[in-house]
Amino acid sequence: MTVGQLPKCSKNPKDSESIELQRVPASKSVAGGVFDPRGLLTSLPDAARKLSPRHQARNPVMFVVWVGSIITTVLAVARPSWFAWLTAAWLWFTVLFANLAESVAEGRGKAQADSLRKVKTDTVAHRIAASGGTEQVPGAELRVGDRVVVEAGQVIPGDGDVVEGIATVDESAITGESAPVVRESGGDRCAVTGGTTVLSDRIVVQITAAPGETFVDRMIALVEGAARQKTPNEIALNILLASLTIVFLFAVVAIGPMTAYVGRQPDPIRLIALLVCLIPTTIGALLSAIGIAGMDRLVQRNVLAMSGRAVEAAGDIDTLLMDKTGTITYGNRRATELIPAPGVRAEELARAARLSSLADGTPEGRSIVELCAAEFGLTVGADPGEQRGEFVAFTAQTRMSGMDLDGREIRKGAADSVLAWVGQSADRASAEVSGAVQAVAQDGGTPLVVAERGPAGVRLLGTIRLSDVVKPGMAERFAQLRAMGIKTVMITGDNPLTARAIAAEAGVDDFMAEATPEDKLALIRKEQEGGRLVAMTGDGTNDAPALAQADVGVAMNTGTSAAKEAGNMVDLDSDPTKLIEVVEIGKQLLITRGALTTFSLANDLAKYFAILPALFSGVYPALGRLNIMGLHSPNSAIISAVIFNALIIVVLIPLALKGVRYRPASASRLLGRNLLVYGLGGVIAPFLGIWLIDLVVRFIPGIG
């Protein structure tokens, strides 16, 4: 393993006319707009159903309001008056609006779930039997390990990995992207999702998920909210809100005896109104909606979060580890050049490179065959007897592959392995080939060396250049991460020279070369031991342990099933730079929760000036000076405060669903801005709102 440090890099990545970074705009989401009146109306029945005591008991703040609404209603029936009935009605509206916020957020998830259910269709699978033939079985009968044949025009019956063949697949039902994608065996782009359609060719898929546990099933459960668990911060805030509610409850209960002591009969309806206005009802009503909306915003960007905790952790990550192949680069390294050794003709090198790759099913091996066909006209049958050759598979020990044909042993592989294989018999050629290998690596390519043993002895034939293509816009997006205070580290199994060139082109801060899965785990644990949160993106089976260890593990949808199982997020677009949006959404979730909590607590100041003079001005006339808003009467002041307390929830629903806008900045600047906007705004808004409402309610009989 080699770790390198790079200077800050702003170099633009290499342009590619043939490859574009596909991105799905949020407008493609079935969730529709962030907020609309129709969404409120359609969510009202569900909000009314949530008035049950079982549901209300889950939220301590709103449970107190719910109990207060019942008591006020009973008192209004026993001693009817306009004031009592209006107070009871608006207390019920407060509970209903709190339910409405949650219902609107859940309704967006249900719309997405309904769209996903259309993907789940009963399909007939062509399962490969033990005899080698195929049998038709319902897709629901497939089990993990079964192999099925899927041809052009057929729907893939279940989640799995392509183990044979290559095909274009329509995944628009899952990702919303109309452009077909390529799925093939022998690489990290082998995973397929049940419900997608094969458009061309024929593939054999090995099933990796049982019916009911597929990717689509998990998506449906998550977007509906059935699998959403409260995050640690959300639980902590709930405890804080419950504690504040208990404190205010004891304070208001104590007012009754104090009022009786001075010779006045306490009005329970007024005390209940005071309690409801003082406890943090605004954030208590919107807290659940904020969490649901945060996960929904991820789904709109085609990222599936397995837990709300992962979304929250994304807002606090300090280090981002990114696998190079398939993440920073497009993944499939392609042969782009053949460099003959001294005394070797280019066509001779091409023939040997082709023979060594004929049975190589990896994308790199296929690209070598394609290059030889395109530049040298070497097609099927170009070499007599090639069908009789015995293929030598690549192994981690030899790091070579090739073919044995008519007494010749042809090998291609890593430079050090091939040079060791030829031994001391090609010293002069070794120096020349080593120079070519170093030049390819310094340019950011991956060198493979070709050699042969035969009757004429051992010869080095030359070098194959494999090139990675860095995805467009990577340097700019890494610069954004740097502005957020996030350190980026590229991890690759390539040699240090290749890794340095790719890392400089992509614009990452650090890189780790010749990394093994154990090295990745060690680096993540080292960062975590320092108190830093780590995010990891990857797509290969060898990335799975690191994805599982990281605080935020984002697996590419094009990757293997093992990677998707290990991560706690899946990017359906397979765009590693999407993690920037994930970080922004995580930060936005935390900022929104903090901003609305600040606003809710700041609201109480105006309510003190509205309700306390109304309650005690008759006993302590000096308290009348606190009526700085000039409210018309004690009853109108109390009703105005209760109405404002209910309406502000509806006003803030769009903000809870959309989230407070996040701009990359330091924590102190973000805190200062939010205190100014939501702290000061939370103080001013209720003064203005309660005063305007009082101008209207004062004309209601029995109120003024």
Binding residue numbers for ATP: 360, 364, 394-401, 412
Measured between alpha carbons, how far is 469 from 341 in angstroms, rounded to an integer? 26
Name the strand (E) or helix (H) holding 320. strand 319-323
Catalytic residues, which ones? 323
- Four-CA torsion 262, 268, 274, 275, nearest 10 degrees: 110
Q: What's the token pair of residue 160? A: 């799995």
CB under 8 Å to 181, separation ≥6 — which residues?
168, 169, 171, 558
Q: What is the DSSP letter of 590?
A: H
Q: Is 5 left (phi over 0), alpha (psi -120 to 50) or beta?
A: beta
Measured between alpha carbons, how far is 334 from 393 in angstroms, rounded to an integer? 19
Residue ranges of alpha helices (H) inside 617-665 are 634-658
In the annotated binding site for Mg(2+), the residues are: 539, 543
Taking every pair of C-alpha atoms in the chain, what is the biggest distance, in angstroms? Answer: 118
Measured between alpha carbons, how far is 277 from 279 in angstroms, rounded to an integer? 6
Measured between alpha carbons, how far is 519 from 51 in angstroms, rounded to an integer? 53
Q: Identify whether the C-beta of residue 523 lies closer than 8 Å to the C-beta of residue 321.
A: yes
Neighbour-count burial of 134, counting CB atoms closer than 10 A to its CB (0-12 exposed, 13-18 middle, 19+ buried): middle
- For helices 82-117 and 60-78, the axis angle rounded to 10 degrees is 140
Please give the C-alpha separations between residue 100 and each of 94, 331, 560, 589, 594, in angstroms, as whole numbers.
Answer: 10, 46, 40, 20, 21
In the annotated binding site, the residues are: 360, 364, 394-401, 412, 539, 543
Q: Identify whether the C-beta of residue 51 lies closer than 8 Å to the C-beta of residue 95.
A: yes
Q: Identify whether the C-beta of residue 683 lies closer than 8 Å to the C-beta of residue 602.
A: yes
Q: What are phi and psi of 569, to 5 degrees?
A: -145, 150
Measured between alpha carbons, how far is 622 from 627 in angstroms, rounded to an integer? 10
Measured between alpha carbons, how far is 282 from 341 in angstroms, rounded to an integer? 75
- Four-CA torsion 189, 190, 191, 195, nearest 10 degrees: 110
Q: Identify whether the C-beta of residue 491 lies closer than 8 Å to the C-beta of residue 435.
A: no
Q: Identify whether the C-beta of residue 281 lies closer than 8 Å to the C-beta of residue 65.
A: yes
